[in-house]
Amino acid sequence: MKGKNTTTLTKILTIDPSHPEIDKILEAAKIISDGGTVAFPTETVYGLGANALDEKAIEKIFTAKGRPQDNPLIIHISDVTQLQELVEDIPQHAYILMEKFWPGPLTLIFKRTNKVPDRITGGLSTVAIRMPAHNIALELIRHSQLPIAAPSANTSGKPSPTNSSHVMNDLSGKVDMIIDGGNTGVGLESTVLDISGDVPTILRPGGITIEDLLDVLPKVEYDKAIEMSNENIIPKSPGQKYKHYSPDANMIIVKGNVEEIVKKIMKLCKEYEAQGMNVGIMATKQTFDKYENDNILVVGDRSFPETIASNLFNVLRRFDEKKVDIIIAEAVEEKGIGIAIMNRMKKAAGGKMI
């Protein structure tokens, strides 16, 4: 498949996530070691990978995604020993976190070594690193024998990809290979925790919650930039500065108790439809039958917010397919993983909330 502005031929390779076929992994690993780009599944979302120590390979990630130049990348490793060439020093509490949460959806920010290219870090003195909990991702890193830089495998600013078809829609013709490894599990990008300063600080909420972290650390804080939309901040983590996760349609979030949310959404829906707009409603299992609308999508179950996290980006992309003019979304309770869900929803809506 050829993109409009490139001659890249994208190979699609299906790999069994339970038992990855080593011959296929080796084919993908060779692309990485030769300086190419491979989109692959992790437990969070699909990532677009390249050799983290190769400036030219890293540049291909930015080009394929249309990613802003100052937005840092996360390096993925398969073994803690790989930190030696990437990290200046490892604080004692980092070992506790790695023992508890790696492999898993936790990214740690360390002081970097000079071996880490500036293109990875946006010129910062720190580097973001994680170990994914996914067989395909781990085998790809191991057989590449390289740390792999990998932001989400989507066009910059669009909803993150949670299956290979999302990646194909955005990046076919722009990358060397896309691995189809089925659906991801968590559905939201990793929690990013800065441990380079005095107090561990969450820069991006994700599947590992602040409660999880406080089980093993005496103190954890949220970074003030999480709630900011200031384009002048210097991002230490992906997802901090720019509008992210955005569907094609405008999006509004309605917050309150569930009954009030339903009433307000029905009122808004009628108003927008009276203006000739095609309205999409992002509902939950508890509320979907209370609406009268042709474009109602159930994002998950309020009693099990992990289901909402897992489905959020897929639902946003399905609204794109339905070509709605506006999406009205129910807010969820901001506790536990609900904090990460609302973080992504607010970014997708550009902060528009009632």
Provide mean pLDDT across the span 228-257. 72
pLDDT for the residue numbered 8: 78
Identify the CATH number of the domain in which residue 302 sits: 3.40.50.11030
pLDDT for the residue numbered 68: 83
Identify the CATH number of the domain in which residue 110 sits: 3.90.870.10
pLDDT digits (tens, 9 = 90+) for 106-128: 999 999 999 999 999 988 999 99
Higher-scoring residue by pLDDT: 123, 94 = 94
pLDDT for the residue numbered 71: 85
Provide mean pLDDT across the span 126-140. 98
Domain count, the chain: 2
Provide mean pLDDT across the span 151-169. 96
Whether the pLDDT of residue 254 is over 50: the answer is yes
pLDDT for the residue numbered 35: 98
Is 137 within the bounds of a domain?
Answer: yes
Is 3 within the bounds of a domain?
Answer: no
Q: Are residues 185 and 266 in the same domain?
A: no
Q: Are residues 284 and 221 in the same domain?
A: no
CB atoms within 10 A of CB 322: 14
**Domain boundary residue, one of 227, 258, 286:** 227
Q: Are residues 196 and 77 in the same domain?
A: yes
Provide mean pLDDT across the span 340-346. 96
Q: Are residues 156 and 37 in the same domain?
A: yes
> Is 112 in a helix, a strand, or coil?
strand
Is 237 within the bounds of a domain?
Answer: no
Is 232 within the bounds of a domain?
Answer: no
Using CA atoms, how far apart are residues 236 and 41, in angstroms rounded to an integer? 24
By residue range, what is the domain housing residue 277?
250-348
Residue 265's φ and ψ, nearest 5 degrees, are -65, -40
Q: Are residues 212 and 281 in the same domain?
A: no
pLDDT for the residue numbered 234: 56
Q: Are residues 78 and 121 in the same domain?
A: yes
Q: Are residues 52 and 177 in the same domain?
A: yes
CB 55 within 8 A of CB 219: no
pLDDT digits (tens, 9 = 90+) for 259-314: 999 999 999 999 999 999 999 999 999 999 999 888 999 999 999 999 999 999 99
Give residue 232's pLDDT band: very low, low, confident or very high (50, 70, 90): low
Residue % of the chain over a pLDDT of 70: 93
Whether the pLDDT of residue 236 is over 80: the answer is no
Is 38 within the bounds of a domain?
Answer: yes
Whether the pLDDT of residue 237 is over 60: the answer is no
Is 1 within the bounds of a domain?
Answer: no
Is 239 within the bounds of a domain?
Answer: no
Whether the pLDDT of residue 238 is over 60: the answer is no
Q: Of the candidates 66, 85, 65, 67, which has an alpha carbon nearest to the alpha carbon of residue 75?
A: 85
Whether the pLDDT of residue 72 is over 80: the answer is yes
Is 343 within the bounds of a domain?
Answer: yes
Q: Are residues 19 and 132 in the same domain?
A: yes
Q: Are residues 202 and 313 in the same domain?
A: no
The torsion of the CA quartet 53, 57, 58, 63, rounded to 10 degrees, works out to 180
CB 74 within 8 A of CB 151: yes
Q: Of the candidates 184, 134, 195, 129, which has an alpha carbon nearest to the alpha carbon of residue 161?
A: 184
pLDDT digits (tens, 9 = 90+) for 33-67: 999 999 999 999 999 999 999 999 999 999 999 98
**Domain boundary residue, one of 168, 193, 227:** 227
Q: Of the candidates 33, 28, 34, which has an alpha carbon nearest to the alpha carbon of residue 10?
A: 28
Q: Are residues 145 and 270 in the same domain?
A: no
The chain-wide mean pLDDT, for the chain, equals: 93
Q: Are residues 209 and 255 in the same domain?
A: no
Q: Are residues 202 and 265 in the same domain?
A: no
Whether the pLDDT of residue 321 is over 80: the answer is yes
